[in-house]
């Protein structure tokens, strides 16, 4: 699955974007299948906006984003749902867990959303063990710390099949050791699927072997 | 864990549950009213036209124009024109149609044995309309004896009215039948004499009848050349209480034996009540449907954030629609089945009750009732589906 951006300019950031030099905005670029991509940028330059564009939940841009040559705007709601269940997964910066569910249910929701789950249920506990959140699985997600929520959101994103994983500052509230573990798990899961990912962050990091790094 | 089990925790359908249950009760009552109305209508038809309830297959009505004050003195106004007769024959409720031919001559009956003579009149109808079955009912030219049928009311009037009041002996039907009064028919100076023979008493036609062959001969010999238009007609109909028939008679100013058509009024009343009940059922159904779609809108609106997040995470709108419908539809089916069971119970009970009075209706509701129940459920389902689709699509 190849993602093409052509002359994408976010409408709210138009002035700013056109003045500055950017590797992404207002350019024609391709995210090739299985590429590991880092997008580095300071705050306020549109990292989250870009992830939302790539995941197609925000549309306020000029230019176009296409998936395998087909622009996002041409997909129906049911086609989009299928893509989100099978081909593109996401870790939002604001995590977006359901407060009324437990941590486990939040993960399970994503696992059973498609009729044939990618992972068996035991995999949840296994991943939670690795990331050190198995003790909070049965707690309401509203009561978790931000760092715990972040790890739950990462596990949730890994429950489904995907060819691309979009991550928006996924380790912002994790310490070095936990980040290490999470990155390792993500790398393994991506490798198992032969999938690529797009990760945004403020700074330079060595959590993954990035094939491409863009400055936003 | 199943996807729907988790959805249950996210999309709370408990919002406004009271209203939903009220609407469900409303749906139940609406279904009941509609089904009962249909079933009563069905039963009523069964009572009127069903094979088992046919005591008499057909009824005969003698019909004439109502004589009003304006008509008096102009006999032509009270006769049926050929156009009127043609129109009448074409009516769907008319199975057979005959005119009553009046004699165009004077008749005098002399009963020497009884010591009286009287002026009389003859009329004739086609044989198929006569309720008296006898071999003697025939006449051919040259035959001296003329068979006559008189209304049974005639004999009753004589026996219980005239004879009692005048100290004359009463006569049985047999005695009267054995008499052969003299009959004189005349026109001006010409006259002929015959022997009358009362061959039967009619409950159907209240006139003095002679065979049509005699009437035609006598009219040709003693009449004034051209046949008089009929002033009375007789029809055979399956259902004298058919409101269409009574309406037709009223519209054209015709009148007949009211006794026979009086059930028409009852039928109109029953049909009106049934229609009103059915109408209320439909109105109630409409309200229930309205409340259901408002309820669905409320549920979806109250979980707007959650539904949006579900869709963001990849839940297909179709999955959510199916989930929401699954929350409501089983209840509708239960309501539909309950209404059907209740109607079936009522029908069974009514059938038992009516059977005691020799009225037979099926002990199970008719196909139309089942079909209506299914139709209503399909309608409810479609309205729900539409509401769910519309509001989910708006996310």
End-to-end CA distance of chain A, in Å?
22
Identify the bridge partners of residue B199 per DSSP, sorted by sequence position.
none
B162-218 pLDDT per residue, tens: 888 888 788 888 888 887 888 888 888 888 889 888 888 888 888 889 998 998 888
Judged by CB atoms closer than 8 Å, whether chains meet at B2 and A78 is answered as no
> Does residue B355 lie in a domain region?
yes
Asked whether residue B253 is assigned to any structural domain, the reply reads: no
State pLDDT tens for residues B322-362: 999 998 899 999 999 999 999 999 999 999 998 888 788 88
B313·A101 Cβ contact <8 A: no
Q: What digits encode the pLDDT tens for the residues B283-320?
A: 999 998 898 888 888 888 888 999 999 999 999 999 99
Q: Which residues from chain B sit within 8 angstroms of residue A113, using beta carbons?
A: 3, 313-315, 319
What ipTM is given for this predicted complex?
A: 0.94
Residue B102 sits in the same domain as residue B178: yes
Mean pLDDT value across chain B: 86
B304 in contact with chain A, both atoms CB, cutoff 8 A: no
Regarding whether B304 and B199 lie in a shared domain, the answer is no
**Pair B126, B144 in one domain:** yes
What pLDDT score was predicted for residue B53? Answer: 66
* Domains observed in chain A: 3-100+157-215 (3.40.50.300)
Write out chain B residues lying below 8 Å of A101, CB-based.
6, 9-10
Q: Same domain for B28 and B122?
A: no
**Cα distance from A149 to chain B (closest Cα, Å)?**
16
Q: Is the pLDDT of residue A25 over 60?
A: yes
Please write the tens of the pLDDT for every residue from B227-238.
778 888 888 887
Sort out which chain B residues have CB atoms less than 8 A from A81's CB and list them. Answer: 311, 314-319
Q: Which of residues 120-159 of A touch B (CB under 8 A)?
A: none
Q: How far is CA B88 from CA B64, B77, B84, B212, in A?
A: 12, 17, 6, 22
| Interface with B, mutate which of A77, A91, A165 (most B CBs under 10 A) | A77
Q: How confident is the model at residue A18 (pLDDT cuts 50, 70, 90)?
A: confident
Q: Where residue A164 falls among pLDDT bands split at 50, 70, 90? A: very high
- The residue-averaged pLDDT of B96-125 equals 84
- Residue predicted with more confidence, A122 or B259: A122
Q: Give residues with Cβ within 8 angstroms of A192, minimum separation 6.
A: none
pLDDT of residue A151: 96
CA-nearest of B355, B273, B305, B287 to B31 is: B287
Residue B254 falls within a domain, yes or no?
no
Do the Cβ atoms of A97 and A141 come closer than 8 Å? yes
Q: Which residues of A touch B393 (CB under 8 A)?
A: 77
CB contact under 8 A, B314 and A109: no
Long-range contacts from B345-350, C-beta under 8 angstroms, 24+ separation: B346/B36, B346/B39, B347/B39, B347/B43, B350/B43
Specify whether B48 is located in the same domain as B142: no
User: Which of A98, A101, A113 has its CB closest to that of B314?
Assistant: A113
Looking at the fold, whether B274 and B146 belong to one and the same domain comes out as no
**d(Cα B328, Cα B11) in Å, to the nearest integer?**
13
Residues B143 and B24 in one domain: no
Q: Is residue B73 part of a domain?
A: yes
For residue A73, count other CB atoms closer than 10 A to its CB: 10
Q: For residues A184 and A186, give the distance between their C-alpha atoms in angstroms, rounded to a whole number.
A: 5
Per the CB < 8 Å rule, is A57 touching B2? no
User: Does B355 share its domain with B229?
Assistant: no
Is the separation of the CB atoms in B293 and B384 below 8 Å?
A: yes
Is residue B259 assigned to a domain? no
* Rounded Cα–Cα distance for residues B193 and B310 (Å): 107
pLDDT category at A195 given cuts 50, 70, 90 is very high
Question: In angstroms, what CA-CA distances link B327 with B14, B290, B300, B308, B389?
Answer: 10, 17, 13, 19, 15
Among B294, B343, B356, B299, smallest CA distance to B29 is for: B343
Per-residue DSSP letter, B231: S
B69 and B31 in one domain?
A: no
Q: Are B389 and B320 in contact (CB under 8 A)?
A: no
Range of the domain at B135: 59-237
Task: Point out the domain boundary residue: B186, B219, B237.
Answer: B237
What average pLDDT score do residues A124-130 get?
95
Identify whether the C-beta of residue A186 lies closer than 8 Å to the C-beta of residue A195. Answer: no
Q: Given CB atoms, is A100 within the 8 Å cutoff of chain B?
A: yes
Nearest residue of A to residue B312, measured between CA atoms: A57
- Find the CB nearest B6 among A57, A77, A109: A109
Confidence of residue B58 (pLDDT cuts 50, 70, 90): low
Rounded distance, CA B18 to CA B25, Å? 11
Q: What's the total number of domains in chain B?
A: 2
Both B305 and B325 in one domain: the answer is: yes
Is pLDDT above 60 for B55?
Answer: no
Pair B44, B95 in one domain: no
Q: Are residues B38 and B185 in the same domain?
A: no
């Amino acid at each position: 699955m190849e993602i093409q951006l052509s002359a994408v300019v976010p409408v709210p950031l138009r002035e700013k974007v056109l003045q500055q030099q950017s590797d992404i905005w207002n350019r024609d670029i391709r995210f090739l299948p299985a590429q590991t991509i880092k997008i580095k940028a300071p705050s306020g330059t549109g990292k989250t906006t870009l992830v939302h564009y790539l995941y197609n939940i925000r549309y306020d841009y000029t230019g176009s984003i296409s998936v395998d040559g087909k622009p996002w705007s041409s997909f129906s709601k049911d086609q989009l749902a299928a893509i989100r269940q099978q081909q593109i997964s996401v870790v939002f910066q604001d995590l977006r867990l359901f407060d009324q569910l437990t941590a486990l249910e939040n993960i399970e929701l994503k696992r059973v959303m498609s009729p044939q789950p990618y992972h068996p249920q035991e995999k949840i506990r296994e991943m939670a063990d690795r990331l050190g959140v198995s003790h909070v699985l049965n707690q309401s997600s509203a009561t978790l710390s931000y760092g715990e929520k972040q790890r739950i959101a990462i596990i949730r994103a890994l429950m489904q099949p995907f060819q691309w994983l979009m991550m928006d500052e996924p380790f912002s509230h994790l310490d070095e050791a936990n980040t290490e573990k999470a990155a390792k798990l993500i790398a393994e899961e991506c490798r198992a699927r032969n999938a690529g990912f797009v990760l945004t962050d403020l700074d330079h990091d060595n959590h993954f072997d990035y094939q491409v790094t863009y400055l936003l | 864990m199943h996807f729907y089990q988790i959805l249950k925790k996210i999309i709370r359908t408990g919002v406004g549950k009271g209203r939903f249950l009220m609407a469900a009760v409303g749906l139940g009552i609406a279904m009941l009213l509609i089904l009962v109305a249909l079933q009563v209508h069905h039963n009523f038809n069964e009572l009127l036209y069903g094979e088992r309830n046919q005591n008499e297959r057909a009824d005969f009505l003698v019909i004439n124009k109502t004589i009003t004050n304006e008509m008096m003195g102009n006999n032509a106004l009270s006769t049926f024109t050929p156009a009127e007769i043609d129109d009448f024959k074409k009516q769907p409720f008319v199975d057979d149609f005959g005119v009553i031919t009046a004699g165009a001559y004077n008749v005098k009956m002399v009963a020497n044995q009884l010591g009286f003579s009287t002026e009389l009149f003859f009329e004739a109808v086609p044989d198929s309309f006569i309720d008296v079955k006898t071999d003697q009912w025939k006449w051919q030219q040259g035959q001296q004896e003329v068979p006559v049928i008189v209304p049974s009311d005639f004999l009753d009037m004589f026996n219980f009215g005239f004879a009692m009041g005048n100290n004359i002996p009463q006569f049985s039907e047999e005695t009267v039948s054995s008499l052969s009064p003299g009959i004189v028919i005349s026109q001006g100076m010409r006259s002929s004499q015959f022997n009358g023979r009362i061959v039967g008493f009619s409950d159907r036609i209240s006139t003095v009848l002679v065979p049509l062959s005699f009437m035609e001969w006598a009219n040709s010999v003693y009449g004034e050349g051209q046949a008089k238009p009929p002033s009375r007609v007789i029809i055979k109909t399956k259902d004298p209480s058919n409101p269409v028939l009574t309406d037709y008679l009223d519209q054209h100013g015709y009148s007949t034996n009211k006794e026979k058509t009086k059930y028409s009024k009852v039928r109109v009343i029953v049909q009106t009540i049934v229609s009103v009940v059915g109408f209320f059922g439909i109105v109630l159904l409409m309200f229930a449907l309205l409340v259901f779609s408002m309820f669905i809108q409320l549920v979806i609106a109250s979980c707007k954030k959650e539904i949006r997040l579900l869709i963001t995470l990849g839940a297909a709108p179709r999955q959510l629609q199916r989930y929401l419908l699954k929350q409501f539809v089983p209840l509708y089916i239960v309501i539909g089945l309950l209404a059907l069971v209740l109607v079936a119970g009522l029908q069974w009970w009514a059938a038992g009750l009516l059977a005691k009075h020799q009225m037979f209706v099926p002990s199970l509701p008719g196909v139309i009732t089942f079909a209506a129940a299914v139709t209503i459920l399909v309608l409810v389902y479609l309205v729900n589906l539409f509401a769910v689709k519309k509001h989910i699509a708006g996310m």
